Amino acid sequence: MLDWDDVFPKRLKHARSLSGLSQYDIEDTTGIPHSTVSKFETNKQEPNLQQLYSLALVLNVTSDWLIGLTAFGGIDLKERRLEEKNRNEILKKLERDALLAKRLEPELT
């Protein structure tokens, strides 16, 4: 069995890091003060059930994964990164298209 002291802080920090969220972002999204998130990550404080639920939701993982009850968090991080990469590529293409349209506008009128 995994030790809570070892698993929860590490998994929380890992999931937050992979999601690209800062402790302040977590605070803005969940209402859990960034200082409390820091205490969770350094094993100085344990979350209550509502905080655990909120963290799991915002980090897109399961609470069972956060506390070490399952090996998988219910997400595929590679898939999430791929979706983000695709979204960024689409945004870049739209920006290029908009710039091209601006350049061509005088020629079309």
pLDDT of residue 69: 84
Range 39-43 contact pairs with CB under 8 angstroms and sequence separation of 24 or more = 40/8, 40/9, 40/12, 41/9, 41/12, 41/13, 41/16, 42/9, 43/5, 43/8, 43/9
Please provide the distance, in angstroms rounded to a whole number, between the alpha carbons at the two ends of the chain: 72
Task: Measure the CA–CA gap between 66 and 36, rounded to whole angstroms.
Answer: 16
| Regions of the chain short of the pLDDT cut 50 | 1-2
pLDDT of residue 1: 44
- pTM of the shown model: 0.65
pLDDT of residue 19: 87
pLDDT of residue 48: 96
